[in-house]
């Protein structure tokens, strides 16, 4: 249990941890409106609250819809959009479309908004009145958030056990594993809005499972620039859980593989195409190429909902391009940090480039082709490629 959570709720109140201030300051920010939820998902701006990680952004969107409707049901006078099923539909559909546009790559957000849209339509078709339809949407929204915790634990166990088995098959003991990861896929990236439970994470969940079962020697994680999900968030999660770990710059992965014995690379995913091509934090592809060169198993860990059967291969996955300025800025505590109460008070955003750079390439994700992926772990089990095959067949998994 990490003790860190991305979202917490109490009744209709939603708060998100301000990931921009982590790891130095723990501050929760209330999300009161659909617009604030959209902004929190979309923005990684210096002064905006921010939530990221594919499952967590889907959870926030679903919870924001649930909270919005729950408040409307209690409001006096009753808002006009609760006057009829069609008025409710006309109100909710644009909200779902708006939330869907916040970030394009992670399939979870689209899956959550589509699921709510389907609930809306089937409740309308069932002839329910507007208040009952709103109730159905509230239940569904909360369910989307709640489902994440159990499945993450299941994935972690499948992935951990499979990896230990693989290492044993190769003649190793399987009880002293070095595992590298990219970005942040732990409790801060996943859902667990009930503050008494914490998200377990996907790839970081596998590392946590190996640690909890005494099989992990050390976790390695890349900084994951330019947003530093690794050095700011994964570092904090591993430190909080007291898991032995080592940070490296993104450019040091080849050196790590040359000079250290690494048993596996485990990463999360924002979208997995039907053939197994996987979009994840930029830098994942580099790690996969290097892992293949060094014959290190490369494992993708993600819930079934991350598999998008409508996309045949990676070329169909939309890749979010972040604003150029974000790659020129680094945010953190002034050094040396001085702590008081909740954490470091003096945080700053500094520019690490000349200002007004003409060209900056800043994709948020890259696609790792399926042929570089050894196994895909979901809550349903571990999928490997057929002998000699370059891609996976994920149609039976979803």
CB of 78 to ligand MRU, least distance (A): 37
Q: How far apart are CA 174 and CA 215, in angstroms?
A: 7
Stretch that binds ligand MRU, among 137-145, 267-275, 325-333, 343-351 (CB under 6 A): 267-275
Is 271 near ligand MRU (CB under 6 A)?
Answer: no
| 166, 190, 245, 378: residue in contact with ligand MRU (rule CB under 6 A) | 190
| Burial grade of 169 (CB within 10 A; 0-12, 13-18, 19 or more) | exposed
The mark string for 290-329 relative to ligand MRU (x by CB under 6 A, - otherwise) is ----------------------------------------
Q: How far apart are CA 170 and CA 364, in angstroms?
A: 36
| 268, 297, 369, 391: residue in contact with ligand MRU (rule CB under 6 A) | 268
| 38, 68, 228, 281: residue in contact with ligand MRU (rule CB under 6 A) | 281
Q: How far apart are CA 79 and CA 71, in angstroms?
A: 10
Of the pair 40, 82, the CB lying nearest ligand MRU is at: 40
Residue with tokens 């409508």: 310
Q: How far apart are CA 241 and CA 247, in angstroms?
A: 15
Is 283 near ligand MRU (CB under 6 A)?
Answer: no
Question: Are 204 and 237 in contact, with CB atoms under 8 Å apart?
Answer: yes
CB of 97 to ligand MRU, least distance (A): 21
Output the 3-class SS for 239-304: HHCCCCEEEECHHHHHHHHHHCCCCEEEECCCEEECCCCEEEECCHHHHHHHHHHCCCCEEEECCH
CB of 238 to ligand MRU, least distance (A): 15
Task: Tell me the residue nearest to ligand MRU as measured from the CB.
Answer: 268
The mark string for 114-153 relative to ligand MRU (x by CB under 6 A, - otherwise) is ----------------------------------------
Determine the 3-state secondary structure of 387 from DSSP.
coil
Q: How many CB atoms lie within 10 A of CB 139?
A: 11
270, 277, 308, 366: the active-site residue = 270
| 36, 178, 193, 229: residue in contact with ligand MRU (rule CB under 6 A) | 229
The mark string for 347-386 relative to ligand MRU (x by CB under 6 A, - otherwise) is -----------------x----------------------
Sign of the dihedral defined by the CA atoms of residues 33, 35, 36, 42, in that order: positive
Q: How far apart are CA 222 and CA 282, in angstroms?
A: 11
Question: Which of 222-261 are b and which e, b meaning 16 or more Cβ less than 10 Å from the residue's Cβ?
Answer: bbbbbbbbbbbbbbbbbeebebebebbebeebeebbeeee
Q: Is 270 tagged catalytic?
A: yes
Is 54 near ligand MRU (CB under 6 A)?
Answer: yes
Of the pair 133, 267, the CB lying nearest ligand MRU is at: 267
| 9, 38, 50, 55: residue in contact with ligand MRU (rule CB under 6 A) | 55
Residue with tokens 């948020």: 364
Q: How far apart are CA 110 and CA 270, in angstroms?
A: 11
Active site residues per annotation:
270
Chain residues that interact with ligand MRU, rule: CB under 6 A: 52-55, 106, 183, 185, 189-190, 202, 229, 268-270, 280-281, 364
């Amino acid at each position: 249990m990490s003790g860190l959570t991305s979202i917490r709720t109490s009744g209709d109140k939603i708060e998100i941890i301000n990931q921009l201030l982590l790891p130095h300051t723990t501050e929760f920010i209330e999300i009161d409106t659909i617009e604030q939820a959209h902004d929190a998902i979309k923005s990684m701006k210096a002064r905006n609250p921010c939530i990221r990680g594919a499952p967590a952004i889907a959870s926030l969107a679903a919870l924001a819809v649930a909270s919005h409707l729950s408040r409307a049901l209690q409001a006096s006078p009753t808002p006009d959009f609760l006057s009829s099923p069609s008025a409710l539909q006309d109100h909710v559909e644009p909200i779902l479309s708006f939330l869907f546009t916040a970030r394009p790559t992670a399939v979870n957000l689209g899956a959550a908004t589509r699921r709510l849209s389907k609930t809306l339509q089937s409740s309308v078709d069932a002839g329910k009145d507007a208040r009952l339809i709103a109730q159905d949407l509230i239940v569904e929204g909360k369910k989307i958030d709640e489902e994440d915790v159990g499945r993450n634990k299941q994935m972690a166990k499948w992935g951990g056990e499979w990896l230990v088995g693989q290492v044993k098959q190769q003649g190793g003991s399987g009880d002293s594993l070095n595992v590298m990861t990219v970005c942040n896929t732990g409790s801060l990236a996943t859902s667990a809005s009930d503050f008494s439970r914490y998200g377990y994470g996907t790839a970081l969940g596998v590392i946590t499972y190996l640690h909890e079962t005494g099989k992990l020697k050390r976790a390695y994680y890349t900084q994951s620039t330019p947003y530093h999900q690794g050095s700011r968030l994964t570092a904090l999660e591993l430190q909080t859980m007291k898991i032995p770990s080592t940070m490296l710059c993104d450019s040091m992965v080849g050196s790590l593989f040359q000079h250290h014995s690494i048993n596996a690379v485990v990463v999360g995913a924002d979208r997995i195409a039907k053939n197994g091509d996987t979009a994840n934090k930029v830098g994942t592809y580099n790690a996969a190429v290097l892992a293949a060169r060094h014959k290190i198993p490369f494992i993708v860990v993600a819930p079934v909902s991350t598999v998008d059967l409508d996309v045949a291969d990676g070329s169909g996955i939309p890749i979010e391009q972040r604003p150029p300025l974000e790659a020129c800025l680094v945010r953190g505590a002034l050094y040396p940090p001085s702590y008081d109460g909740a954490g470091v008070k003096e945080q700053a955003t500094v520019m690490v480039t000349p200002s007004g750079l003409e060209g900056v390439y800043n994709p948020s994700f890259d696609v790792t082709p399926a042929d570089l992926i050894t196994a895909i772990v979901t809550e349903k089990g571990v999928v490997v490629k057929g002998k000699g095959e370059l891609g996976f067949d994920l149609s039976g998994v979803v």
